[in-house]
Amino acid sequence: MRELFLRVMTVVVLASVVLGTGSAAAAGAGWTVSPGGSTSGDASQVILTIRPADGSADPVFDCVPSQVDIAMFSSPDSHVGDVTDVVLSDCLLAGLYNLEITVGTPLSFHALDYASPVVSGELRDFFASVVFPGCWAVVEGFVPVTYDNSTHELRLIPEFTLEFTHVDPVDNCLGIFNEGDKMALEAVYDLAPGQAIVPA
């Protein structure tokens, strides 16, 4: 009985080693992007939501329109593109406040997971200034995204992964947002020409 138990345990351990090695190899195989090169997309609407650190109600801004330009490329790792330009302005809250948001570029586009035909990933190195009369602030972090190979839609997922890291002590944004508050973006960009992003 003891010999049978040891044989079973040996098989389980060997199977775990083999499966673990295969998973690591797949994760490190990189991504193929075709045709690659420059692509751009428009979003008819961007929803910008602030999550205050003090637990008060979330201000929601409606931003129209928005455009992105992206340089796409195949890669031996997760980095498959760079967002080279972002237009994001005219963000209104109840028709009273109009945010002007200047996003620093490039943002690095990382592909992290694949469930055909959808790629899940992140736009990293996000750094933006937020300005309106009486306000100057800085937002940093990353934006979760998905890309659908069949529809060529790049979707910004509204998770609160951006943070206000600086709010000017004089132009203090009227308390609408403060240092430590979180921000989320939600939008769908239709990319053209369409790209195919698949594991290598």
In SS3 terms, 40-63 reads as: EEEECCEEEEEECCCCCCCCEEEE
User: What is the CATH classification number for the domain harbouring 96?
Assistant: 2.40.160
Which of residues 14 and 85 earns the better pLDDT score? 85
193 in a structural domain: yes
Please count the CA atoms within 13 angstroms of the CA of 113 that sit on its side-chain side. Answer: 6
Number of domains comprising the chain: 1
2 in a structural domain: no
24 in a structural domain: no
22 in a structural domain: no
Q: Is the pLDDT of residue 84 over 50?
A: yes
Q: What tokens does 59 get?
A: 């201000």
Q: What is the pLDDT of residue 21?
A: 33
Q: Is the pLDDT of residue 18 over 50?
A: no
Q: What tokens does 13 get?
A: 């351990």
Peptide bond into 199 cis (omega under 30): no
Average pLDDT over residues 75-94: 94
DSSP string computed for 109-120: EEEEEEETTEEE
170 in a structural domain: yes
Alpha-helical regions (H) of 51-98: none
Which of residues 199 and 29 earns the better pLDDT score? 199
15 in a structural domain: no
Residue type, 23: S
8 in a structural domain: no
176 in a structural domain: yes
Full residue range of the structural domain in which residue 144 is found: 32-199
- What is the Cα–Cα distance from 175 to 91, expressed in whole angstroms? 17
What is the share, in percent, of the chain residues with pLDDT greater than 90?
80
Q: Which helix (H) or strand (E) element contains residue 3?
A: helix 2-27
DSSP state of 131: E
Q: Is the pLDDT of residue 77 over 80?
A: yes
pLDDT in tens, 20-51: 333 223 346 899 999 999 999 999 999 999 99
Q: Is the pLDDT of residue 152 over 50?
A: yes
